[in-house]
Structure 1
């Protein structure tokens, strides 16, 4: 009996280079998908939109969009069409969870398929992704994207539901330890001088953290004093703080958001300022803490801003540093729907240091004033 093997399909995965206000980031979701697709008989190349290979022919193009405005995304598709002609294009990524009707109509008119689910499901045709055997990244993909970022994820999903955040991953899934540690090794080999665990919450599971820590030590991969990650106020206790301390992080980031209990409730945060104070005081005995604040959410007032400033004064002795974001209304979030009913949209979303929305009763100058006060105190 002769078994005919399906000919390998050539796949190009493309994304736009995305960076924060201060740091380059790697397209880690695209790296994941590229490795996953190779297990399903695909030959995969990964490139940024501004570094496309013009000599290769592909059977399929996947455009991954994390975030962006319609105009930019349409332009990227026009570029792909100019370079690769009638090659089938599928668009996916986090952006498809908040896509508007204008974009849907334009994409349909231009014969672009929208993939709303997890990218892995396109290849496996299954709803369940086996994270226990998930393949690690390929060095080839880091080279073609000139990877300079420090970000990595050891898990997907978040159990918390903050009203300003749009996280389509409701289920918590943990990548296998080999995946995480091997990817860290690749980043270090590419010259990364720091590792940022970009998990929504890295400290959800003590055993998961310890497995990574022990495997790093086993492989003599030293990230002491050059790693950082997120935790949550409600997860902080002595036991998990001791595990955090083992990693010797440069900092641990905690979303404190506001110093006003009514604002915390409006943001969907299920803790109070007293609890936050006590937990940060405890954690500061083990690691350096970066307190993250968010001002300008719908319902913000001068009184709540002043309460946050006062809270910062009180908690400052236990913070290594702090950051203040200005609220950015992300489509299809609770905060966005509330912002539509009250306040004013000021500018397009750019970065969290720019005024994009002004709550009712406040001005853009009020937001900038208190951001500066909190940052500089």
Structure 2
């Protein structure tokens, strides 16, 4: 832990008890312009409760009054977000930030009047020095469930605090009741493939992914996970809260066979009966798929990315086409739908490959394809590779993190015509799968 020696006294607001803490998720307004995902996949019905913020909130001592503001899910503008923050008059303002929304973070740090302002979330990992310069008193890196309460007890010192990976089994349940669950109700529309009821809620059973796919910006490479018993407890907690569907939002749910099997058996032994799904990797072990199906898993959301071995190797994916084929066969046999993420625009991709891809996906019975364009996202190996090869004349992401601008557009290494072709191809894919009545669900 690195920290400045300057200590803000505990009595920094004389006579005010209890002290008020507001934890906020940044609004969408002004975020980096997405050149990765077609707007068709950004379904307005998909809203995820901010589990990281809610987990930290659950660890704050009850002597504090705590409010959570999910500006993104509520669709608030920057002005509306600031108005709500100021109306609450927090003594401590905590901002959860992803790099795409760094501009709104700076606006809130500069315009809100809270005496102490802190920042955490993925953006903090490599930009802590910039964030301090931009107005934060403290920055929290990695898990803050332990470091944030300790920071409060220590008198709110200034500096950077690295919590590493917390013991997920010993944390309280996320404080979901601090939010209005009606803000997360699903408003059905024609682009939803399946009916999961009124309230689909996320759950993390693990954090981190050990793989090295070049396009991915997951920064935690240590796989940190909850026990099957803890997962079962959280399922029951969500069901009691009113969930009609549960989505396991892990970076890589099925890394460990024994763990997935144990979780599946734990859920089955408790008689848990709810629509649920998980985000993970291509799974070739039929016994794992069978156990998931027996436990009620309805869908697996996986990064397939390409159906060409050379392209998979370029992206540094560990699987090959034969593994995808086996995975698809197992899921079809055991009644689990596949939501498959695919990437267009990888180096070496041909027009012939793009023309054949929809048919190959349909033949594999991948019912829910989801297409993205390969882009140099911040803090990805792909961006670092392009930078080292001299494809960019300057480090654009570093420039942005140092001085965030509204609606930033990351320069593309592709000619405009190629970008337009890829975007048009995805629209053709969407139309193709719609004609087959295979509506894509934005996940």
Whole-angstrom CA distance in 1 between matches of 2:299 and 2:255: 17
Q: Does 2:200 correspond to 1:154?
A: no
Alignment map for 1:347-358 (pairs within 5 Å): 357=412
Whole-angstrom CA distance in 2 between matches of 1:192 and 1:67: 30
How many angstroms does 1:247 deviate by? 3.2
Q: Does 2:115 correspond to 1:90?
A: no
Secondary structure of the corresponding residue to residue 123 of structure 2: helix
Query: What is the aligned partner in structure 2 of residue 332 from structure 1?
Result: 379
How many angstroms does 1:142 deviate by? 3.0
Q: Does 2:22 correspond to 1:12?
A: yes
Whole-angstrom CA distance in 1 between matches of 2:415 and 2:165: 44
| 2:419 pairs with one of 360, 364, 371 | 364
Residue-by-residue CA offset, 1:264-300 (whole Å, 9 max, x unaligned) = 1221112222332333233322222222201124x25
Assess if the C-alpha contact under 8 Å between 2:264 and 2:292 holds in 1: no
Q: Does 2:147 correspond to 1:122?
A: yes
Assess if the C-alpha contact under 8 Å between 1:35 and 1:135 holds in 2: yes
Q: Does 2:306 correspond to 1:258?
A: yes
Residue-by-residue CA offset, 1:329-369 (whole Å, 9 max, x unaligned) = 21121111234444899xx999xxx9984536961222023
Q: Please give the root-mean-square deviation of Cα atoms over the aligned residues, in Å.
A: 3.6
Task: Summarize the Cα distance change of 1:147–1:321 in structure 2 as closer, same or farther, 3 Å threshold.
Answer: closer
TM-score normalised by L of structure 2:
0.68
Greater Cα shift, 112-121 or 46-55: 46-55
Query: What is the aligned partner in structure 1 of residue 159 from structure 2?
Result: none
Greater Cα shift, 160-169 or 187-196: 187-196
Whole-angstrom CA distance in 2 between matches of 1:11 and 1:100: 21
How many angstroms does 1:145 deviate by? 8.8
Q: Does 2:153 correspond to 1:143?
A: no
Task: Summarize the Cα distance change of 1:220–1:114 in structure 2 as closer, same or farther, 3 Å threshold.
Answer: same
Runs of 4+ displaced beyond 6 Å: none
How many angstroms does 1:324 deviate by? 0.9
Gaps of 5+ in 2: 1-10, 12-16, 29-38, 72-80, 152-162, 186-199, 397-404, 434-443
Secondary structure of the corresponding residue to residue 214 of structure 2: coil
Secondary structure of the corresponding residue to residue 284 of structure 1: helix
How many angstroms does 1:191 deviate by? 4.3
Greater Cα shift, 62-71 or 52-61: 52-61
Task: Summarize the Cα distance change of 1:55–1:291 in structure 2 as closer, same or farther, 3 Å threshold.
Answer: closer
Secondary structure of the corresponding residue to residue 137 of structure 1: coil
Alignment map for 1:133-282 (pairs within 5 Å): 133-143=170-180, 146-148=183-185, 150-177=201-228, 179-217=230-268, 220-223=271-274, 226-233=275-282, 235-282=283-330
Whole-angstrom CA distance in 2 between matches of 1:211 and 1:8: 43
Query: What is the aligned partner in structure 1 of residue 359 from structure 2?
Result: 313
Assess if the C-alpha contact under 8 Å between 1:147 and 1:190 holds in 2: no
Assess if the C-alpha contact under 8 Å between 2:217 and 2:379 holds in 1: yes
Query: What is the aligned partner in structure 2 of residue 113 from structure 1?
Result: 138
| 1:21 pairs with one of 37, 42, 50 | 42
Whole-angstrom CA distance in 1 between matches of 2:176 and 2:313: 45
- State the aligned residue count: 353
Whole-angstrom CA distance in 1 between matches of 2:59 and 2:262: 23
Gaps of 5+ in 1: 1-5
Greater Cα shift, 200-209 or 235-244: 200-209
Task: Summarize the Cα distance change of 1:313–1:48 in structure 2 as closer, same or farther, 3 Å threshold.
Answer: closer
Tell me which of the two structures has the higher relative contact order, counting C-alpha pairs closer than 8 angstroms and 6 or more residues apart: 2
Task: Summarize the Cα distance change of 1:183–1:282 in structure 2 as closer, same or farther, 3 Å threshold.
Answer: closer
How many angstroms does 1:257 deviate by? 0.7
Residue-by-residue CA offset, 1:185-230 (whole Å, 9 max, x unaligned) = 444455443211111122223443344444545555421xx22212
Secondary structure of the corresponding residue to residue 323 of structure 1: strand
Task: Summarize the Cα distance change of 1:204–1:146 in structure 2 as closer, same or farther, 3 Å threshold.
Answer: same
Whole-angstrom CA distance in 2 between matches of 1:361 and 1:272: 31
Whole-angstrom CA distance in 1 between matches of 2:171 and 2:99: 25
Assess if the C-alpha contact under 8 Å between 1:36 and 1:120 holds in 2: yes
Task: Summarize the Cα distance change of 1:109–1:365 in structure 2 as closer, same or farther, 3 Å threshold.
Answer: closer
Assess if the C-alpha contact under 8 Å between 2:254 and 2:280 holds in 1: yes
Greater Cα shift, 192-201 or 311-320: 311-320
Whole-angstrom CA distance in 1 between matches of 2:21 and 2:429: 48
